[in-house]
Amino acid sequence: MSPIKGLTDSQRLPRLGKIRAGYMATNANGVQYPKATDYFVLPEELQAVYGEKPTVIAPVIIPVEDEEVFASTWYRYYTRGRGLVCKGNGEVADRTVDTDALNATGDIAVANKDSKNVARHQVTCPCEHLDSGNCKPIMNLQLILPDAPGIGIWQIDTGSYNSIRNILASVRLIKAACGRISSIPLQLTLTPQTAHVNGKSKTIHVIGLRATEGITFRSLLADVAALPPGVTLALP
């Protein structure tokens, strides 16, 4: 029997919850803003397993081989009241526009919560919204936490260029060497790193994926090479 196109042939992982590397703080004027932390912010069910303020979560497992499924990374523009209004790949973007504003001015106006008539429109990416900070690259990293309760994946989102590059570099190195990335025990880390912002040095905390403690690259290669086809690595 053939799958239903766009339904049963699409791949979406069941999500149990989110891990964060920050929280929403409130300034003196009552305005909320995202504040980074030097530890992972976990829901209560994960704190019981990994502690209240961990900087390492291990082991974690990438569930599938498809990078777009487990580490989907796009330029994304969110607005309050309407959510994701634009998603692009650095060349073109699919944007929700206010067609009333479009007809009146000729501009491609981003839809907001008050827009009554909207449509999808293809625009050049990136655009001025990246420079203004409204849009930014966001990775949705999805991982299995085998020691956590439930069957499904946990997601951590990041808009940090350094974190995105670190994660993808590790994934692609392991995959190039081992021929795979799924079902290999890894650890999710949050570590300090010096960055230069507006000409000044600043300590930031970046997300990374590393081999679990005690595993060398040589031993990882040997373990993967010794596996029969279709067999996965055992958890430590």
- Per residue in 160-174, pLDDT tens? 999 999 999 999 998
Which tens digit of pLDDT belongs to each residue from 11-21? 667 899 999 99
pLDDT range class, residue 206, cuts 50, 70, 90 = very high
Asked if residue 60 has pLDDT above 50, the reply is yes
Which residues neighbour 218 within 8 Å (Cβ) at sequence distance 6 or greater? none
Q: For residue 128, with 0-12 CB atoms within 10 Å meaning exposed, 13-18 middle and 19 or more buried, which class applies?
A: exposed
Q: Which residue has the tokens 């009552």?
A: 30
Q: What is the mean pLDDT of residues 29-42?
A: 89
Please name the amino acid found at residue 130: L
Q: What is the mean pLDDT of residues 86-107?
A: 87
Q: Give this prediction's pTM.
A: 0.84
Phi, psi of 162 (to 5 degrees): -65, -45
Asked if residue 28 has pLDDT above 60, the reply is yes
Q: What is the mean pLDDT of residues 123-149?
A: 93
CA distance 85 to 131: 17
More confident residue, 149 or 177: 149
Cβ atoms of 14 and 1 closer than 8 Å? no
pLDDT range class, residue 54, cuts 50, 70, 90 = very high
Cβ atoms of 139 and 164 closer than 8 Å? yes
**Taking Cα atoms as reference points, which of 175, 196, 176 lies closest to residue 186?**
175
pLDDT range class, residue 236, cuts 50, 70, 90 = very low
